[in-house]
Structure 1
Amino acid sequence: MSAKALSETEKLIMDTAMKVFFAEGRFNATTQEIADAAGVNRTLINYYFRSRNNLFDIVFENAQKQENELTEAIVFSDLPLKEKISRHLDIYFEQAKKYPYLEIYMVTQVNQGNCFKDKDTMGRVLDKFYLEIALEMEKGNVAKMRPEQFVLNFVSLMVFPVSMRPLLEETMGMSKEAYEKLLEERKEIILQTLFIN
């Protein structure tokens, strides 16, 4: 088997694990279940990743890293703040639709102190974000408040309905389809809530 074929197999296993863990919510899926879903021999998972837990960690870290890189790219783009937020919401809700259990798991891991940390990058991202928020407040496009409060509002409005989805679906007596429709309406609601103009 060529090196290219091996890397394709590795990617297939990772993509399948991502689907099993975060699209289907089967956090405790075994290596055999992942192998069956990927259509590969279970020994290949051990060959590439050594264990199911290691595969899980790698897949989760990659998901976090990709999210951080996307956030950084958006924040440091030349788009106006409202467009940056709009773009971020598009990406976030698209991923939440594809992987509805990723945010739930991420919140759990953050609470346990097990999340991907790049404090230097996040510090630069937040400094740039805070500055842009302050400038929009001066222009009258955003209500005056501490920029940190704006960020809390933004993150809360975006993340809470996704991370609490199972509970909210049940409490509100909604089907998965009806709740999905509700989430599709979130972007405009969030933008209207955060921005005056």
Structure 2
Amino acid sequence: MSKQEKKDQTQELIKETAKNLFFVQGKFNATTQEIADEAGVNRTLINYYFRSRDNLIQIIFDEAHRVEKQKSELIMNSDLPFKEKIANFIDGSLKTSLTYPYLETYIVSQINSGSCHKRDVEKHELEKLYEDIDKEMELGNIEKMAPIQFVMNMIALLVFPSAVRPLFLENMMISDKEFDLLIADRKDIILNMLFKN
């Protein structure tokens, strides 16, 4: 194995470890030392490869975000019927919630700390989505409302449970496993709430 391959492998290992600590286990306060210990590497390597803990977190967050954005664009730009597109979008979002249970909580914490993320929807994409929603309302498939309300309903039904996961676990007195089962069951529930038929 070349020196470069070894370096790439170590960087990947550190990123995957940090991703697991943050977005899977919800340990947002994990220190550079804790990340290094979990990855089985020397702490100085993290600073050598990523300059700082915050920089590492930004990189793994940006990567996770980019993958999600590409998946969403693929769905929304497809030629599938509208309800099918929305069903696929919901499915993809719920799968992400199951893979990275604390990603939404992390995003909310970032927004609350003022490190809000830049807009990642193009104006023409949004206008096209609103047009599609309007058509579905005219056809009687969706309750009549401002299209933005439909989008807000969908995002709230999808994101809110995961964003407040720790609160639900505590107050509903359920385990992580039980919560994951609830999330996995949400696709049809959400579709039935959004569509009349």
TM-score of the superposed pair, with normalisation by structure 2: 0.91
User: Root-mean-square deviation (CA), in Å?
Assistant: 1.7
* Displacement after TM superposition at 1:25 (Å): 1.0
Aligned position for 2:59: 58
* 1:58-100 superposed Cα distances (whole Å, 9 cap, x missing partner): 1122222222222222111112221122112222111111211
Aligned position for 1:89: 90
Per mean C-alpha deviation after superposition, the further-off stretch among 164-173 and 23-32 is 164-173
- For structure 2, the residue ranges without an aligned partner over 5 or more in a row are none
Aligned position for 1:176: 176
Aligned position for 1:153: 153
Equivalent residue runs for 1:35-184 within 5 Å: 35-119=36-120, 121-184=121-184
One-letter amino acid of the structure 1 residue matched with residue 140 of structure 2: G
* Displacement after TM superposition at 1:133 (Å): 0.9
* Contact 1:64/1:116 (8 A) holds in 2: no
* Displacement after TM superposition at 1:7 (Å): 2.0
* Contact 2:98/2:184 (8 A) holds in 1: no
| Separation (CA, whole Å) in 2 of partners of 1:138 and 1:66 | 34
| Separation (CA, whole Å) in 2 of partners of 1:131 and 1:12 | 44
Per mean C-alpha deviation after superposition, the further-off stretch among 187-196 and 70-79 is 70-79
| Separation (CA, whole Å) in 2 of partners of 1:122 and 1:33 | 39
| Separation (CA, whole Å) in 2 of partners of 1:115 and 1:17 | 21
| Separation (CA, whole Å) in 2 of partners of 1:124 and 1:6 | 41
* Contact 1:17/1:56 (8 A) holds in 2: yes
| Separation (CA, whole Å) in 2 of partners of 1:10 and 1:194 | 42
- For structure 1, the residue ranges without an aligned partner over 5 or more in a row are none
* Contact 1:72/1:125 (8 A) holds in 2: no
* Displacement after TM superposition at 1:46 (Å): 1.1
* Contact 2:36/2:43 (8 A) holds in 1: yes
Q: 1:125 to 1:16 in 2, by over 3 A?
A: farther
Query: SS state of the match for residue 89, structure 1?
Result: helix
| Percent of matched pairs sharing the same residue | 49
| Separation (CA, whole Å) in 2 of partners of 1:193 and 1:64 | 27
* Contact 1:21/1:29 (8 A) holds in 2: yes
* Displacement after TM superposition at 1:179 (Å): 2.1
| Separation (CA, whole Å) in 2 of partners of 1:124 and 1:36 | 46
Query: SS state of the match for residue 166, structure 2?
Result: helix
* Displacement after TM superposition at 1:21 (Å): 1.0
* Displacement after TM superposition at 1:125 (Å): 2.8
Query: SS state of the match for residue 10, structure 2?
Result: helix
* Displacement after TM superposition at 1:108 (Å): 1.8
* Contact 2:11/2:49 (8 A) holds in 1: yes
